[in-house]
Structure 1
Amino acid sequence: MHSLIRTHATEFSLLGVIVVISAVLSFATANFLSLGNAFDLLNISSVNIIFAVGLLVVLIAGGIDISFAVAASVVQYGTAIALGWIGGGGWLSGFVIAASLGVLLGCVNALLIHRFRIISIVATIATFNIYFGLLMFFTRGVSIYDLPDWLTDRVILFEREMPDGTWIEITLPVLVMIICVVATWTLITRTTIGRQLFAFGDNPEGARRFGINIGAMQFIAFGWLGLMAGIGGLVQAHYAQEVVPNALYGRELDVLAAVVLGGARLGGGKGTVLGCVLGVLLISITQNGLNLMGVSPFAFKMIIGAIILIAITLSNTRLERLLPFAGWKGTRR
């Protein structure tokens, strides 16, 4: 048991923080601890978790990407237009188109980073502005409401009426999120590619000397995030029942904060899917609680900024230096 806690110290810490914050918010607000609010949180958090597991792979590989949310918006528009060209399509064609466009945009980042030796954060700042600028220029900020029925019709996987007359439900985004989480967990923990991504992120030069294809690692990492961005963009359009050009703008910082809060190291070579998911849930719970308390949304932005600043400051600090237990040692995963 001690070994399990030591190995997953970040995840246990996050669970503890989530329990404490939830207990405080349950006393501070009337509706926070309701089952309906919990299910709503899960449905709303699904897209961010899809984005987060994609970003996790990039961070593990030692990179950083802040363009994925805008790329997801581009995918939404591109997919909506393509579906119109083919007469409406269906879920299969929608996912294929969205995933393909997402991977393409992710590979553009990988090409800039690998071929032209541009630092990942600089490259993605550039593509962030390019993608968003092109999107707003060609769409003129006009939303798309005329979407295929299959995309706008809600898909409810589970629902139940509560004694007070309210309904709780699990919708399609949760199922898609679970599939993306399992796929990412399999990639980074059960494949040779996953081990190579960790090795590359931890020591790029050592990985190169060991024979790991550096270019392939970058294209896989950013391509995977592009894939998750494409899928997340389509799921967001389904959830919102419309395509709005700036709907996902700014989401990248929330997701980045959640992933580093979940234990991913900005220097690469460390991170878990469970920690990533818990980080997103902690951010969502905090935002939801502040909203229920009527706190200004700018307060939430300050919290996000503080999380990112602290994560950058402590990204190279070993875990045992942060814990009061001298016998604990940081474990690289």
Structure 2
Amino acid sequence: MRSLIRTHATEFSLLAVIVVISTVLSFATANFFSLGNAFDLLNISAVNIIFAVGLLVVLIAGGIDISFAVAASVVQYGTAIALGWIGGGWISGLLIAGSLGVLLGCFNAFLIHRFRIISIVATISTFNIYFGLLMFFTRGVSIYDLPDWLTDRVILFEREMPDGTWIEITLPVLVMIVCVIATWTLITRTTTGRQLYAFGDNPEGARRFGINIGAMQFVAFGWLGLMAGIGGLIQAHYAQEVVPNALYGRELDVLAAVVLGGARLGGGKGTVLGCVLGVLLISITQNGLNLMGVSPFAFKMIIGAIILIAITLSNTRIERLLPFVGQKGTGR
């Protein structure tokens, strides 16, 4: 037990913070502590979790990418136009969106590897390039005429509650679960995943050990591109429209959530569970504040304070928070 807590100190800290905040919000609001609200939170958070697990891989590899949300917007538009030309269904839509996303992600990796540009500088550049081109060619016009299969809600599970409300799990949650499992498999069950951790923790050592640095960068940014593409298509399905600037600004919320979940900006550290908990913590907080009628302008300030507290707790040794964990049993 002691070893488990030490290994997953960040995750335990986040769980504790989530429990405390949820308890406070359940007393402060009438509708927060309900199955309907919990299921709504899961459906709403699905796209951010898809983005987050992709960004996690980049952070593990020692990089940083702030262009993925804008790239997802580009993918939304490109996929909608391509589907209008060739038709198709979910399989073709996911293939097109994933391919476009990988292409944009690999372009970031090419700039970083070929020209030795720091990742944050490269992605700031592509952030502006992608968004500028998108707004230039679309003129800010949204697409509302999407295929029926993309706009029709897909409900995987639903049940009526005694109070007459309905709880449901929709397609975005299923896609999110697949992306989470795929990312977990990549970073924990493959040689490539172990190499990503090694490269992020000690790039020079990884290079001397024979790890292909270029390959690691293309895998990391390509994987984030794939998740951005899939997340962009799922967002279009959820919103039932394609709005050029709908995802603009979401990159900072996702980045904060992933770092909150224990990913180190210097690379070599991070878990999928911590990443998911980080996103859920921010979603829960925003949802609770909304139910309390708090002004949206206060969201960033309050969430920033929670992130600061949570990171402080995650950096504190668990034995200091729970002194009894470090004590040996007395045999009684």
- Pairwise same-fold verdict (TM > 0.5): yes
Partner deviation per Cα, 1:267-293 (whole Å, 9 max, x = no partner)? 000000000000000000001011111
Distance 1:78 1:23, change over 3 A: same
- Measured in 1, the distance between the counterparts of 2:294 and 2:187 equals 38
Contact 1:151–1:241 under 8 Å retained in 2: yes
Q: Secondary structure at the match of 2:194?
A: helix
Distance 1:26 1:268, change over 3 A: same
Distance 1:38 1:307, change over 3 A: closer
Deviation of residue 72 (structure 1)? 0.3
Segments of 5+ residues of structure 1 without an aligned counterpart are none
Deviation of residue 134 (structure 1)? 0.7
- Measured in 2, the distance between the counterparts of 1:313 and 1:127 equals 32
Q: Secondary structure at the match of 2:326?
A: coil
Distance 1:330 1:83, change over 3 A: farther
- Measured in 1, the distance between the counterparts of 2:329 and 2:123 equals 31
Q: Secondary structure at the match of 2:92?
A: helix
Contact 1:266–1:315 under 8 Å retained in 2: no
Segments of 5+ residues of structure 2 without an aligned counterpart are none
Alignment of 1:86-125 (within 5 A): 86=86, 88-125=87-124
Partner deviation per Cα, 1:191-247 (whole Å, 9 max, x = no partner)? 000000000000000000000000000000000000000000000000110001111
Q: Secondary structure at the match of 2:102?
A: helix
- Measured in 2, the distance between the counterparts of 1:195 and 1:29 equals 44
**TM-score normalised over the length of structure 1:** 0.93
Partner deviation per Cα, 1:47-88 (whole Å, 9 max, x = no partner)? 0000000000000000000000000000000000000010x2
- Measured in 2, the distance between the counterparts of 1:322 and 1:124 equals 39
Partner deviation per Cα, 1:97-135 (whole Å, 9 max, x = no partner)? 000000000001101100011100011011111111111
Contact 1:202–1:270 under 8 Å retained in 2: yes
- Measured in 1, the distance between the counterparts of 2:266 and 2:178 equals 27
Contact 1:47–1:235 under 8 Å retained in 2: yes
Q: Which residue number in structure 1 is paired with residue 79 of structure 2?
A: 79
Q: Secondary structure at the match of 1:32?
A: coil
Q: Secondary structure at the match of 1:216?
A: helix
**TM-score normalised over the length of structure 2:** 0.93
Contact 2:144–2:242 under 8 Å retained in 1: yes
Deviation of residue 302 (structure 1)? 2.4
Q: Which residue number in structure 2 is paired with residue 275 of structure 1?
A: 274
- Measured in 1, the distance between the counterparts of 2:329 and 2:66 equals 28
Q: Which residue number in structure 2 is paired with residue 173 of structure 1?
A: 172
Contact 1:98–1:231 under 8 Å retained in 2: yes
Deviation of residue 298 (structure 1)? 2.1
Q: Which residue number in structure 1 is paired with residue 13 of structure 2?
A: 13
Distance 1:128 1:189, change over 3 A: same
Contact 1:265–1:316 under 8 Å retained in 2: no
Segments ≥4 residues shifted beyond 6 Å: 307-326, 328-333
- Measured in 2, the distance between the counterparts of 1:66 and 1:159 equals 36
Distance 1:304 1:126, change over 3 A: farther
Distance 1:273 1:126, change over 3 A: same
Distance 1:168 1:312, change over 3 A: closer
Contact 2:257–2:278 under 8 Å retained in 1: yes
Mapped pair 1:320 → 2:319 = yes
Q: Secondary structure at the match of 1:326?
A: helix
Distance 1:269 1:167, change over 3 A: same
Q: Which residue number in structure 2 is paired with residue 54 of structure 1?
A: 54
Distance 1:62 1:303, change over 3 A: farther
Contact 2:26–2:33 under 8 Å retained in 1: yes
Distance 1:328 1:276, change over 3 A: farther
Deviation of residue 31 (structure 1)? 0.5
- Measured in 2, the distance between the counterparts of 1:65 and 1:332 equals 52
- Measured in 2, the distance between the counterparts of 1:298 and 1:182 equals 35
Distance 1:143 1:19, change over 3 A: same
- Measured in 1, the distance between the counterparts of 2:331 and 2:83 equals 44
Contact 1:319–1:329 under 8 Å retained in 2: no
- Measured in 2, the distance between the counterparts of 1:36 and 1:168 equals 5
Contact 2:9–2:314 under 8 Å retained in 1: no
Deviation of residue 2 (structure 1)? 1.2
Contact 2:80–2:146 under 8 Å retained in 1: yes
Deviation of residue 300 (structure 1)? 1.6
Distance 1:25 1:265, change over 3 A: same
Distance 1:208 1:173, change over 3 A: same
- Measured in 2, the distance between the counterparts of 1:40 and 1:156 equals 13
Contact 2:6–2:318 under 8 Å retained in 1: no
Distance 1:37 1:183, change over 3 A: same
- Measured in 2, the distance between the counterparts of 1:202 and 1:149 equals 46
